[in-house]
Amino acid sequence: MALQDIKVLIVDDEIFFRHVLRDMLGKIGFTVAGDASDGDDAVEQFRTLRPHVVLMDIYMINMSGIEATKKMLALDPNAKVVICSASDADYDAQAALDAGAKLILKKPFVPREVYEAVRKALTGK
């Protein structure tokens, strides 16, 4: 699958971060299918857009990234969610992985790390 064929959904409560990540993903070559500011909107966009990979913040209003991940996996057991978090807490990472996230991407990150995270989520490696 070519990079431009890979649809990514960005989920983060900070609009600036979503814009930076959208720009970063575009420069790498991915297609940004959409973006959401909370877990509720993320689940709805996941349902309608069917992205290949979701880059999801862990802490958001209304519904956490962990809860949104569980709901996405209930809709599609093959959902590929990468949790993006600034948290250093081991329990946050473990909770995200227990919810079904493929991996954790530690903020701040650089384009190469985003590329690798999306690739790993897609390939399962």
Give, as one character, the DSSP assignment of residue 51. -
Range of the domain at 23: 3-123
pLDDT for res 92: 86
Whole-number Å distance between alpha carbons of 36 and 55: 10
pLDDT for res 1: 79
Count of domains forming the chain: 1
pLDDT for res 89: 76
- Please list the rounded mean pLDDT of every run of 10 residues in the chain (125 residues): 91 96 95 96 97 96 94 98 88 92 92 95 88
Contacts 24+ apart (CB under 8 A), 65-70: 65/11, 65/39, 65/96, 66/95, 66/96, 66/99, 66/101, 67/39, 67/99, 68/11, 68/39, 68/40, 68/42, 68/43, 69/96, 69/99, 69/100, 69/101, 70/99, 70/100
pLDDT for res 3: 82
Where residue 34 sits, what CATH number does that domain have? 3.40.50.2300
Whole-number Å distance between alpha carbons of 83 and 64: 11
